[in-house]
Chain A
Amino acid sequence: MAKTNIIDLSAQALDCLMPMHLQISPTGHILHAGPTVQKLRPEGGLVGARLLEVFHLRSPRSVQTMDDLRDCVGKRLKLQFREAPKTGLKGALVMSDGDGVMVLNLSFGISLVEAIREYDLHAADFAATDLSVELLYLMEAKSAAMNESHKLNRHLQAAKIAAEEQAFTDTLTGLKNRRALSHIMDRLLTEQRAFGLMQLDLDFFKLVNDQLGHSAGDHVLQRTAAIMVEHTRQDTVLVRIGGDEFVLLFPDLRDARQLLMIAERLIAALEEPIPFGSVNCEISASIGASVVQAGCFEQASDLLEQVDQALYASKRAGRGCATLYEADKFSGDPATIELRSHEMRRVRPGYSAAAETDMQSKSSSA
């Protein structure tokens, strides 16, 4: 081969271009180590040692002798220090002309970050053309950007939870929720307006939920909401306060009889079987009602407690009925109230005894 393009480079020049290179004698001894490789073994001992005693060749694995190594010229090598820290390195091997000296250039490859930590390397330890520092830059920049993105995600998640907490709507039924109820009641009381108040609990709902599953239960709750919308005026405030419990608020309604008529209609409508798939869900409702007079000074919570007492009386009286709260009849302890329950003004709508018996027998077997 014509040797016309031979470039003679000094050791310094090679160190500048390849600070991680080794020069290896034909006998396999390290003749020279670049400045950065030397930093990897600060205790020294590289120059003069046998290459294959310092490094273990991980690829190609067959390399045992210098003759094997000479066959690797031009190939990609994977090496590892035999002594700790057992840093992995990538290598490329070339043969110089004439004297049989080999040049092995090394790089950290993917173990770059660990190596930099391990050996406290600096930008100046890498060749000017080496992209290692750019790679480190990119890794940090990416993690900073990811960090910001995670922060944003956490922020949005928190905002979503806060928005849900502040929402006034019950997501299942589209009715108002308990939070909305207290706002609206407070407003009516502040404005000193009269209103009708009703608490409605579904009867036998648990049975539907337990026997037919949650989706049937959800369907019944949604149908209940629709029935309430159908049987009330637009200004009626319809609230699901939890589970199968509802509160209805009738602004400016002062007439107890009217309130009980609405209750009657609601119970009758809710007792119509609700089809779900191939089955009919049969429920009913118990209602406690009261009329809050204009200028009432009682707290919203007390008013709700009163309709709850009336509701309790309806349940005691056999469910599927409505009871009007009357202050004089509801004073005293709960036991007394129970005794007097027969005196309360109750309304029993056209109610199918068979259905009730049927459901109750199911209930007791459940």
Chain B
Amino acid sequence: MHGLVFRSFESFILNSYGQTTWIQVADKAGIPRQGLQSLAEYDDELALDILDAASETLGRPGSDILEDLGTFLVSNPTTEALRRLLRFGGASFAEFLQSLDELPDRARLAVSDLVLPQLELRDNTPGSFNLTCYWDHPGPGHVLVGMLRTMADDYGALVLLEYVGADNGKETISIKLLDQEFTQGRDFHLAV
């Protein structure tokens, strides 16, 4: 797994719970306290170790932590770049949803060795979608739920999100788009 993913997690723990917690997590997972390198590649197993360490330290299930990570990634000022990059996906939340299957390719345009889970969006009925996420281990689905919830707020859309479950290397999220323009949403300009 790419170092950027690990750096994101570190940044999330540091920002949300502070240095002391991060040091506990790092020590428990057996990684350097100053974190891993953002431009290196690490074993997927290590990600699971770090998540377990965080879960134990915080006394919260891993799935909750991952969902918070997703929220953090698109709402925290330190990761504003990521939120902006996602907003380039479309002018409305519906367009943004349709752009999600391009996400891994978009990520690779920026960082050529960054491999993200493959995503597949399926329209069920108008305003109702199923998003499938393919990865060797369950987890990215929960991050996505956090991200989508926050991106919906960002666009000002009212949505119902549900983590349906994980099955054999794929996770499914059900998305119900109730109102595209529920609120004003956050400002987004193409150029900063």
List the interface of chain A (C-beta within 8 A of B).
Answer: 113, 116-117, 120-124, 133-134, 136-138, 140-145, 147-149, 151-152, 155, 159
Contacts and interface: CB of A to CB of B under 8 A. Distances in A.
A309 B7 CA distance: 54
A177 B141 CA distance: 54
Contacts of B90: 123
Contacts of B85: 137, 140-141, 144
A152 B189 contact: no
Contacts of B110: 138, 141-142, 144-145
A123 B190 contact: yes
Which 7 A-B residue pairings sit nearest by Cβ, starting from the closest? A141-B110, A144-B81, A137-B88, A116-B191, A123-B91, A117-B191, A116-B190
B4 A140 contact: no
A193 B73 CA distance: 58
Interface in B22-69: 34, 37-39
A292 B79 CA distance: 59
Nearest to B79: A144
A129 to B, nearest CB: 15
A151 B191 contact: no
Contacts of B189: 116-117, 120, 122
B82 to A, nearest CB: 8
If over half of A's interface residues share one DSSP class (helix, strand or loop), that class is named, otherwise mixed; here it is: helix
B115 interface: no
Range for the number of chain B residues in contact with chain A:
20 to 34
Interface of B: 4, 7, 34, 37-39, 81-82, 84-85, 88, 90-91, 106, 109-111, 189-191
A133 B37 contact: no
Contacts, number: 58
Contacts of B191: 113, 116-117, 136
If over half of B's interface residues share one DSSP class (helix, strand or loop), that class is named, otherwise mixed; here it is: loop
A337 B37 CA distance: 58
A120 B70 CA distance: 29
Nearest to B188: A122
A231 to B, nearest CB: 42
Contacts of A145: 110-111
A141 B106 contact: yes
Contacts of B37: 152
Contacts of B106: 137, 141
Nearest to B81: A144
Given A137-B106, A141-B110, A148-B38, A122 B190 contact: yes
5 contacts: A133-B88, A136-B190, A136-B191, A141-B110, A144-B110
A124 B39 contact: no
Contacts of B34: 155, 159
A121 B188 CA distance: 11
A329 B100 CA distance: 85
B88 A136 contact: yes
A152 B190 contact: no
B81 A152 contact: no
Nearest to B107: A141
